[in-house]
Amino acid sequence: MSTSSVLYDHPGPRARIRNTVLSVIFGVAVLALLYWLYRKFDQAGQWEAWLWKPFADPKTWTQFVLPGLWATLKAASVGMLLSLAFGIIFAVGRLSEHWWISVPAGAVVEFFRAVPLLLMIFFVFYGLPWVLKQPVSAFWAVVIGLTLYNGSVLAEAFRAGIRSVPSGQSEAAYAIGMRKTQVMQLILIPQAARAMLPIIVSQLVVLLKDTALGYIVAYPELLQRGVNDLAANYGNIIPAAMVIAVIYIVINSLLTWFAGWLDRRSRTRAFRVPRQTAPAGTPGATPEGGATVTEPQG
């Protein structure tokens, strides 16, 4: 059964005609909007060749775009790993039966969800040095801010995913003698992560785009280097913004594709039926211990 048939009923003949008509109307409206935008940019002279010529120069990519892309990917990668770890730890903490663990974990999650990310990055870069008595680099200011905010959001996603797992599975695990740590690690968290994968991917995409807020501490990420610095040298802010937007779209599309591939692979492995084996020495067993199937003699 396909995924689409699980989510909704197949449309009838009239519904298919209505959906086709609406799709055509929406497509025509989108094309009209794109043409209107093209005409407006053309009237403003944004399609002139000299504005786009810098992107044919390798120095534009090696000095501005690629260094900014590397800085963005580096901060996003570290932030994603730390956010996932933060989310899992605090989701488990909020689900703890001990109030002295669940209450502080809930307070931390709610606090960092409420504080704007821009303010958090600003505070880590300018305020934390007063506590540590040493400066904090722009990279770690961005990463720490991304981790605290997105990790708190992911913690709520994981908590909802864990609670969505039928209680009978954990009860069965406790019945065979598994400890709570084993139940969380082996049963609840893997299923919650698979169930909440769309929300997790969406939040990681948000995290990647939020690296652009590193401009507040002069972190040389993709938007800063590829739009602000590049336009300051060539005066082509609109073409630069378009090129950088395409790069963001490609990166986020690859991230979404990878998540879909990972989801399909995990589902395939989850529903794979293991090969039946028989102990060595039993009738019909192979030397390696696998059972053979013989047809009945008639």
Neighbouring C-beta atoms of residue 168, cutoff 10 Å: 9
Q: Where is average pLDDT lowest: 91-100, 162-171, 289-298? A: 289-298
pLDDT score of 8: 52
Q: Three-state DSSP class for 96?
A: coil
Nearest to 72, CA basis, from 265, 213, 280, 173: 213
Q: How far apart are CA 268 and CA 265, in angstroms?
A: 5
Average pLDDT of the residues of the chain: 86
Give residue-wise pLDDT tens across range 170-220.
888 889 989 888 888 888 888 887 778 888 888 999 999 999 999 899 999
For residue 7, the model assigns a pLDDT of 43
**3 state DSSP class of 257:** helix
Question: What is the tens place of the pLDDT at every residue in 254-269?
Answer: 988 888 887 777 777 6
Q: All domains of the chain, ordered by start, with CATH?
A: 55-268 (1.10.3720.10)
Is residue 112 scored above 80 in pLDDT? yes
Confidence of residue 24 (pLDDT cuts 50, 70, 90): very high
What's the half-sphere exposure (Cβ side, CA atoms, 13 Å) at 32?
Answer: 6
- For 70-103, write each residue's pLDDT tens digit: 999 999 999 999 999 999 999 989 998 889 999 9
pLDDT at 4: 43
Average pLDDT over residues 1-27: 75
| Least confident interval from 107-111, 238-242, 272-276, 287-291 | 287-291
